[in-house]
Amino acid sequence: MVKWILIAFFFSFRITWNAWPQNSMDHYPKGAISMGMGNASVTLSDPWAVFNNIGALGKAEETIQAFAGYDHRLGLNELTTVSTGLVIPTKKIGNLGIGISNFGGTLFNQQQIGLGIANQLGLASLGLKISYFQTNIEGFGRTARPVIELGGTAELLPGLFFGAHANNLTRAAISQASNDYLPTTVKAGISYRPSENLLVNFESEKELLSPAQFKAGVAYSFQQKLWARTGINTRPNNLFFGIGFKPRRYQIDYAMSRNFLLGFTHHFSFTYNLSAP
């Protein structure tokens, strides 16, 4: 009961201060790899870059990879996200990425399907993605709008990477008859990788109607098969923890985050390499 009261207060506070549009789109980073590092994932080139930064996908492995994830926020089915996707390398135009996700419950839910392409051009990896984003609200109907994303990564120095990503570049509205816009976010970050076993990421994200959010994450691997991850966010303050297991053809990841007011969120993701021998 206390959790429901806190959630109701949280959303009513957002609406009162005209900040609801930033939450009217399920634009959160996806995949337990990202979640375990506090969502400081703008430089990561794993298959989940299809959702988190299409520009990083150009540095992904040149193999066909399928992936799926389940994000259960605060123990509520109404705040659950299910996502899946596929990465297909090509010789002429780079890596193609397809991503599909569904967020919400019966009264309010959102779906998106997107197609992106990324290519490695010298030191930089650049990518573009176009999504079809749909919102359903019980009693208000259904709307759908196109959303455009652009991103990239670059290796500035050996072991030092920079990444940036912009979402909803065209400032698409929720519907043609609405003055409320889908969130436009810009994020940038750096990643320091002194060895193959260690990643240290720092990132900042800004939505037009909200203060900037700072993220930091660390990942360490044991023999490149078992990963341990942790991270932190500000605005709101959240702690993140995660583990991952990566044998030859597949990878299983789990992450847990804790909001200091609302409680725990659990994340599961699975990646399968279809091209590995």
Residue 18 has pLDDT above 50, yes or no: no
Give the integer Cα–Cα distance in Å for 133 and 182: 10
Q: Report pTM.
A: 0.85
Is pLDDT of 187 > 70?
A: yes
For residue 140, how many other CB atoms are within 10 A of its CB?
10
Q: What is the pLDDT of residue 220?
A: 96
- Nearest-5° angle of CA 237, CA 241, CA 243? 160
Greater model confidence, 3 or 182:
182
**Is the pLDDT at 69 greater than 80, yes or no?**
yes
pLDDT band at 11; cut points 50, 70, 90: very low
* Rounded average pLDDT over 220-247: 91
Using pLDDT thresholds of 50, 70 and 90, give the confidence band for residue 129: very high
Average pLDDT of the segment spanning 236-258:
91
How many residues are recorded in the chain? 277
- Residues contacting residue 205 through CB under 8 Å, at least 6 positions apart: 185, 186, 187, 212, 213, 215
Number of Cβ within 10 Å of residue 67's Cβ equals 26
Q: Is the pLDDT of residue 14 over 60?
A: no
Query: Nearest CA to 208 among 24, 39, 9, 6?
Result: 24
pLDDT for 176 equals 65
Q: Is 16 exposed, middle or buried (0-12, 13-18, 19+ CB in 10 A)?
A: exposed
Write b or e for each residue in 32-65: b if 16 or more Cβ atoms lie within 10 A of its Cβ, otherwise e: bbbbbbbbbbbbbbbbbbbbbbbbbbbbbeeebb
**The pLDDT of residue 62:** 82
235 sits in the region (left: phi over 0; alpha: psi -120 to 50; else beta) called left
pLDDT of 140: 78
Asked if residue 4 has pLDDT above 70, the reply is: no
Instruction: Give SS3 for 208.
Output: coil
pLDDT at 1: 44
Q: Please name the fold of domain 27-273.
A: Porin (2.40.160)
Percent of the chain residues past pLDDT 70, beyond the cut: 88
In this structure, of 21-25, 178-182, 213-217, 218-222, the range with the lowest mean pLDDT score is 21-25
Coil, helix or strand at residue 77: helix
How does the average pLDDT of the chain come out, rounded?
Answer: 86
In this prediction, residue 17 has a pLDDT band, given cuts at 50, 70 and 90, of very low
Centre a 10 Å sphere on the Cβ of residue 148 and count the other Cβ atoms it contains.
Answer: 16
Q: Which residue, among 55, 25, 36, has the nearest Cα to 164 in the 3D structure?
A: 55
**24 has pLDDT over 50:** no
- What is the mean pLDDT of the segment spanning 227-244? 93
pLDDT attached to residue 67:
97
